[in-house]
Structure 1
Amino acid sequence: MTRKTRPLWITVLLIMLCAIADSASWILQLENYDGSDEQAMVSGVMALLNIATWLLLPFALHHSRRERNIHEEYPGHPVALIVALLVLAVGGFSPLSLSVLVVLTSLISRGSLRWSLAGTVILVASYVIVMAVPELQVNYLSVFGYGFFGTIVLIVAWITGSVRAQRRQREVTLVSLAELNEDQLRSREERARLEERNRIARDIHDSLSHRLSLISVYAGGLSYRKDADPEHIAEAADTIQSEAKAAVEDLRGVIKALRVDDRVDPRASIEEHIERARATGTKVRYEKGDAHESIDRLSTMAAHTLGRAVQEGLTNARKYAPGQKVRLTVENEEDKVRVTMQNKKVTHQPKSGGGNGLLGLEERARLAGGTFTVLDDASTFTWVLELPEEARA
């Protein structure tokens, strides 16, 4: 049995168990059959209802891959949830129905309190209808016996389903913590690389300063020694040329050492950042309107600042508010582009990494001639970026 075929075999086994339990209920009814047409009709209706629950059971127990997404609160496909409620409504008219227990347990294990309460209310309503209408009661169970078995079903389903839901929540929490620890480890590694790059850049800077000083000395000597012979002039010119070439290589080395973020193109558009975030499970609602032309009119530094802000904001939302929808709005405001990102906070928010990314965005916005503002309250986290449009002729 492979991992992919395991849910199918479990569903088939549950259907067989439900059929055996319901067949036992029919046998009890036949043993107490008094020959009346009314009881025969009730027994026939009960049998049809039980068969209907068997047919609907695979749909009610279906779990989609989206439910396993740790960044999203998704109880299940609407068809599966509605079919589960239908099974509970129908199966409640039959005593000792194992289908009811299985479906209610599966519904509660999804972790949605609203759907769990809806299923419980529907099942209790079907129990009450059977106990209140004498024609629907079977003669081998009293009203007390039917209520007793119904209570047992509810207690067992809620206990089992709640345990499964809590176990699933623990798995989600562990995965979230593992991702957060991985992000923190990656941040420490990036910080170590950055420190090493800075040391390399300082070393190359010293060498570059020496070469530039040497070029200055030889150039100054040529300007003062106008009576120098052509051989010395050619030798000094060769030295200046070789040192200038080496200085250019050193300068490229400094720039390469200081450029630490080569993974994301600074020219990437907002749509590209959103697609990357959605690929990791983040729900993003993007509202741009007619701000496309305004974004095109941003200067190079402002455009890079905008892309960096969107990237940093989506990354923070995934790390510190998993499963929460992110709303990104870009709009025109006179001669400025206003960008707003907002998301709700989670109940147990992971410990922040220090907010250095937000401080860096504030500095980037200031250098680009704009502003970066953070609005943080008890329920939502919002930041607003305003960038001036570049003057065009």
Structure 2
Amino acid sequence: MTSAAVPDHPWLLPNALVAAEPARRSRRTPRDWLVDGAFFLVALGFLAVAHDDARQAAPTFALNAGPAWLLDTDTLVGLLCVAALWLRRRWPVGLALAMLPIAVFSVTAAGAMLVVLFTVVVHRPLPVASGVLGAHLAVVPLSLTVRPDPGMSQPAATVFVATILGAMVAWGMFVRARRQLVVSLRDRAERAEAEQQLRVEQARQVERTRIAREMHDVLAHRISLLSLHAGALEFRPDAAPEEIARAAGVIRSSAHAALEDLRAVIGVLRADTDAPGSATPEPPQPTLTDVPALVRESRSAGMRIEFTDRVTTPEAVPAAIGRTGYRIAQEGLTNARKHAAGAAVDVRLSGGPDEGLTVRIRNRWPVGGPTTPDIPGAGTGLVGVAERVALAGGRLEYGRDGAGDFRLAAWLPWPA
């Protein structure tokens, strides 16, 4: 699973990433320029109004003009504080602490100070923001002593300033909480997308494994046929030339088909479904209607098979059930050919909708016990069949019955 990427904006960062953000950001986005410009204009407008009111000695904004030199100095300091707002994203705490002594005597810089304190609340953890705000609140009584407000008493002015700061803090905390919620939702969305991609990839791998397993069963069947014909040629060197030619033809076609199946297996295991143009259509998988062809192929290889088909509507069998029934019949014939060479095999299909599909393969138990096959198998054929039957919701039985024959029987559900 891939980790969530760092968001593009510092206001979308959790507490642990806020402090390190200035080092990562090298340029402002258009939105950053718009917000910074708006704050700059607001602070500059507040400075102009405060300067004009102070010059007219009007208490409209609770400002005290003071001597002329103080007004000129206040205006110059206010302009510097407003210009420093362009650095607030990189050093918000540093600017807030640098403006702390200015807050004692300057009135025109009040707008810029509020913007910087708002930035600290939004971009820095609560303990840091609380310390900076506490320091600014502590200098409020001293500032009102140096520049008293002629319109209200000092306690009332202190409460007024504290109320403004409290409103600014509440706004900043709301913005910070909202942006942390946004980054949390974005992180969840990215994680959900990564998990969905992982589930898709796992489904692809499961499907590849399933296809490879089916091809393995087909390949084992073909190689067993090839071995059977080769054994017939070995024990009948005096057979008629026509029979030898026919057996050699079957061996050649079986070997060619086995190579094609092996190539298909390798292709499935190496396939990269994400590469453009790599997806190739899969050949149609055999179903229950292909069982007669499978029986004819085994008979042509010399097996003695009695085949009974009592399925009411074989063309109506669900595709998954039909494939499973075919694989059961294929595995039963392959095992009979390997372990009971020359024994008669009885293959029976029966069932219908609501009744279920029954597949039975029975062969005589060889004298002296099962023979060791010339071609070693993987030993997982019946395990794979049992897994298929279990996934289909059916039942599987195999082993020697009361008559001593080996019996492989499966029942698969067939809904109407």
TM-score scaled by length of structure 2: 0.49
Residue 48 (structure 1) aligns with = 76
Tell me, yes or no, if the aligned pair for 2:95 and 2:116 is still in contact at 8 Å: no
Q: Distance in 1 between matches of 2:191 and 2:216?
A: 37
Residue 90 (structure 1) aligns with = 102
Question: 3-state SS of the aligned residue for 1:169?
Answer: helix
Equivalent of residue 186 in structure 1, options 180, 197, 204: 197
Give unpaired runs (5+ residues) of structure 1: 63-76, 265-393
1:199-256 CA-to-partner distances (Å, cap 9, x unmatched) read 3223312211211111111221222122346665565445434433432332343344
Residue 379 (structure 1) aligns with = none
1:251-287 CA-to-partner distances (Å, cap 9, x unmatched) read 34334445688779xxxxxxxxxxxxxxxxxxxxxxx
1:107 aligns with 2:120: yes
Q: Distance in 2 between matches of 1:185 and 1:40?
A: 69
Tell me, yes or no, if the aligned pair for 1:208 and 1:247 is still in contact at 8 Å: yes
Change (3 A) 1:168 1:30: same
Where do residues 2-21 of structure 1 align in structure 2 (5 Å cutoff)?
Answer: 4-21=29-46
Question: 3-state SS of the aligned residue for 1:227?
Answer: coil
1:75-100 CA-to-partner distances (Å, cap 9, x unmatched) read xx4x3543354346535643472222
1:21-61 CA-to-partner distances (Å, cap 9, x unmatched) read 2222223322339xxx973333233222211111111221x
Structure 2 letter corresponding to 1:112: P
* Number of equivalenced pairs: 240
Question: 3-state SS of the aligned residue for 1:32?
Answer: coil
Question: 3-state SS of the aligned residue for 2:67?
Answer: helix
Tell me, yes or no, if the aligned pair for 2:92 and 2:119 is still in contact at 8 Å: no
Residue 216 (structure 1) aligns with = 227
User: CA offset at residue 18 of structure 1?
Assistant: 1.4
Q: Distance in 2 between matches of 1:235 and 1:84?
A: 97
Tell me, yes or no, if the aligned pair for 1:92 and 1:100 is still in contact at 8 Å: no
User: CA offset at residue 175 of structure 1?
Assistant: 1.2
1:161 aligns with 2:186: no
1:147-190 CA-to-partner distances (Å, cap 9, x unmatched) read 23420232112110111011111111211222233233334433
Equivalent of residue 117 in structure 1, options 117, 130, 133: 130
Change (3 A) 1:6 1:187: closer
User: CA offset at residue 112 of structure 1?
Assistant: 1.9
User: CA offset at residue 194 of structure 1?
Assistant: 3.8
Equivalent of residue 50 in structure 2, options 25, 41, 48: 25
Tell me, yes or no, if the aligned pair for 1:87 and 1:103 is still in contact at 8 Å: no
Identity of aligned residues (%): 30
Change (3 A) 1:144 1:40: farther
Decide which structure has the larger Cα Rg and report it.
Answer: 2
Measured on the aligned residues, the alpha-carbon RMSD in Å equals 3.5
Structure 2 letter corresponding to 1:137: R
Tell me, yes or no, if the aligned pair for 1:212 and 1:247 is still in contact at 8 Å: yes
1:202 aligns with 2:213: yes
Q: Distance in 2 between matches of 1:167 and 1:259?
A: 47
